[in-house]
């Protein structure tokens, strides 16, 4: 039996040499900004020089009521996630049933998703203002008592932004679920129909189990979106107002960095946001393993 010659150092290093450009790019784009973020959160620039301040920026952020209010608004936006999942499933299932005009409906529900957020924000700012389109319509049909200052009141502003986000993000979920449903064996639906299952029963016992991994993915994506991807809505629609009632974590970071020139506090807030987003991704990965284990 001929023995296998051990690999030389050059042979062992060759794969890493091929990977080196990609690893260098990843380090430049992802690793360096994260390290620089931590550096900025523990230093402050005075007289043109960086002065170490330890964890003082984190303590200042945690002692700021506006920080907790911004985080609370992000958590409040999490309520939109189950609404998006349920509505996407229902609408996708109805379109999948080939209702009359289903191709038109599929196009219409996806149009908001491809629209730019600033455009959506500006349009809805005009619709939802005190003398806007919505209140004018309500007064015109005799429902003036329902007219509110949707974006000018601290009680309704955040909920109004949530409604706009749901309207815009719904199309992605519908198309995502439709793509998964189209790959489900038609025999499953035919067998359910032969057993006398109605639309709701087919949704519950066939569609939802078969789309479990997509539901998990869509839920995780939306949670991350509500945590770290809503800055544009707030900036365009309310600019954080009235007062600080619609501040979110991203807006807190933006204001501290560019409005108040407190880069160290902004960096500390960004670190908190990074930790929360990373935690959600870890939970998503764990949930995926559990779903896959149940499917085996």
If one counts the domains in the chain, the total is 1
Residue 29 lies in a domain: no
Residue 210 lies in a domain: yes
Which pLDDT belongs to residue 4?
A: 56
Q: Report helix angle 65-77 to 212-228, nearest 10.
A: 150
CATH number (domain holding residue 255): 1.10.3720.10
Contact 207, 229 (CB under 8 A): no
Residue 38 lies in a domain: no
DSSP string, the chain: -PPPPPPPHHHHHHHHHHHHHHHHHHIIIIIHHHHHHHHHHTEEEETTEEEE-TTHHHHHHHT-HHHHHHHHHHHHHTTHHHHHHHHHHHHHHHHHTT-TTHHHHHHHHHHHHHS-HHHHHHHHHHHHSTTSHHHHHHHHTT-GGG---TTTSTTTHHHHHHHHHHHHHHHHHHHHHHHHHTTS-HHHHHHHHHTT--HHHHIIIIIHHHTHHHHHHHHHHHHHHHHHS-HHHHHHHTTT-STTTT--HHHHHHIIIIIS--HHHHHHHHHHHHHHHHHHHHHHHHHHHHHHHHH-
Residue 30 lies in a domain: no
Residue 48 lies in a domain: no
Residue 102 lies in a domain: yes
Between CA 182 and CA 186 the distance in angstroms is 9
Which pLDDT belongs to residue 154?
A: 94
Structure tokens at 177: 């679920």
Domain that holds residue 171: 58-295
Structure tokens at 272: 């908190």
For 199-221, write each residue's pLDDT tens digit.
889 988 899 999 988 998 899 89
Q: Which residues of the chain have pLDDT under 70?
A: 1-6, 291-296
Residue 13 lies in a domain: no
For 120-165, write each residue's pLDDT tens digit.
999 999 999 988 999 999 999 998 888 999 999 999 999 999 999 9
Which pLDDT belongs to residue 26?
A: 85
Residue with tokens 């509505």: 87
Residues whose CB is less than 8 angstroms from the CB of residue 236 and which lie 6 or more positions away in sequence, other chains included: 117, 118, 121, 122, 125
Residue 249 lies in a domain: yes
pTM assigned to the model: 0.88
């Amino acid at each position: 039996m001929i023995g296998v010659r051990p690999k030389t150092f050059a042979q062992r290093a060759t794969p890493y040499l091929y990977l080196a450009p990609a690893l260098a790019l990843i380090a430049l784009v992802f690793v360096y900004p994260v390290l620089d973020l931590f550096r900025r959160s523990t230093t402050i620039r005075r007289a043109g020089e960086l002065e170490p301040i330890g964890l003082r920026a984190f303590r200042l952020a945690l002692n700021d009521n506006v920080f907790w209010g911004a985080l609370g608004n992000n958590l409040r936006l999490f309520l939109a996630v189950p609404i998006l999942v349920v509505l996407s499933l229902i609408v996708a299932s109805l379109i999948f049933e080939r209702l009359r005009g289903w191709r038109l409906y599929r196009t219409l529900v996806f149009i908001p998703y491809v629209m730019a957020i600033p455009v959506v924000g500006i349009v809805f700012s005009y619709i939802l203002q005190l003398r806007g389109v919505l209140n004018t319509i309500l007064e015109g049909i005799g429902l003036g008592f329902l007219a509110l200052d949707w974006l000018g009141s601290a009680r309704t502003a955040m909920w109004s932004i949530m409604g706009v986000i749901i309207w815009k993000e719904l199309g992605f979920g519908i198309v995502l679920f439709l793509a998964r449903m189209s790959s489900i064996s038609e025999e499953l639906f035919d067998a359910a129909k032969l057993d006398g299952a109605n639309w709701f029963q087919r949704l519950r016992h066939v569609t939802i189990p078969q789309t479990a991994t997509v539901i998990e993915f869509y839920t995780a994506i939306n949670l991350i979106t509500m945590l770290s991807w809503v800055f544009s809505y707030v900036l365009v629609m309310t600019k954080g107002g009235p007062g600080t009632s619609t501040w979110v974590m991203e807006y807190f970071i933006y204001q501290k960095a560019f409005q108040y020139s407190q880069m160290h506090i902004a960096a500390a807030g960004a670190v908190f946001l990074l930790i929360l987003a990373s935690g959600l991704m870890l939970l998503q990965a764990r949930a995926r393993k559990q779903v896959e284990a149940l499917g085996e």
